[in-house]
Amino acid sequence: MTYKQNRQLNNLIDKISTETGVEKSVIVHFLLVDLNRIYTDKIFIHAAKLKSTEHDFFDLSQKEKQLLQKIEKRDKEISESQKIINELNSRIETTQLKYTEIQEALKELRNKYNDLNLNLSTLEKEKKQVEFNVMMKSHSIKEKYDVHFKTIGWILTGFTILGIIIAIILILKK
């Protein structure tokens, strides 16, 4: 404290003492007690604010840790989800390739089926033609054999009649 400030303080104490009629030592005592109380209250206020701030900082720190843990958990979940998505995309691509291969194989089978149907219809036409030819041949052969059998039948009939006549002649001659 400077000399000037010290003098002002002494003048103030003198003035209070004269106006109130209280001794200077009592006024100095009350001033010291009040100054000490102000200083102590201010320290308690600052200490309380510091404790409150420390508590707030601790709460915020805990919340930050919880948020960081949640973020890490979400990051892990996102990473796992991304792995699953990649795996599913890979499966989809594989399935699409298999589907394309199946479609191509199916197209080939359809082409072969159509070729076989075409061959079958050609073979059926040929079969009908062969059956017709066989039927025509068998009919012509049947006609030939019918004429042949008729001729043989007439010849046998003729020889039978001739045999009967000879038998009758022989019976009559005896």
- Check residues 120 and 144 and name the one with the higher pLDDT: 120
| pLDDT at residue 53 in the model | 82
pLDDT exceeds 80 at position 171: yes
Q: What is the mean pLDDT of residues 76-102?
A: 95
pLDDT exceeds 90 at position 66: yes
pLDDT exceeds 90 at position 172: no
3-state helix, strand, coil split of the chain in percent (to 5) is: 95, 0, 5
Domain range holding 100? 3-173
- Check residues 19 and 98 and name the one with the higher pLDDT: 98
Supply 146's token pair.
Answer: 């019918």
| pLDDT at residue 153 in the model | 82
Report the domain count for the chain. 1
Burial of residue 27, with CB atoms counted within 10 A of its CB: 0-12 exposed, 13-18 middle, 19 or more buried: middle
Residue 89 to residue 82: CA distance in whole angstroms: 10
Out of 27-41, 69-83, 95-109, 159-173, pick the least confident: 27-41
| pLDDT at residue 75 in the model | 94
11-62 pLDDT, tens digit each: 988 898 888 888 888 888 888 888 888 777 777 777 777 788 888 889 999 9
pLDDT exceeds 80 at position 126: yes
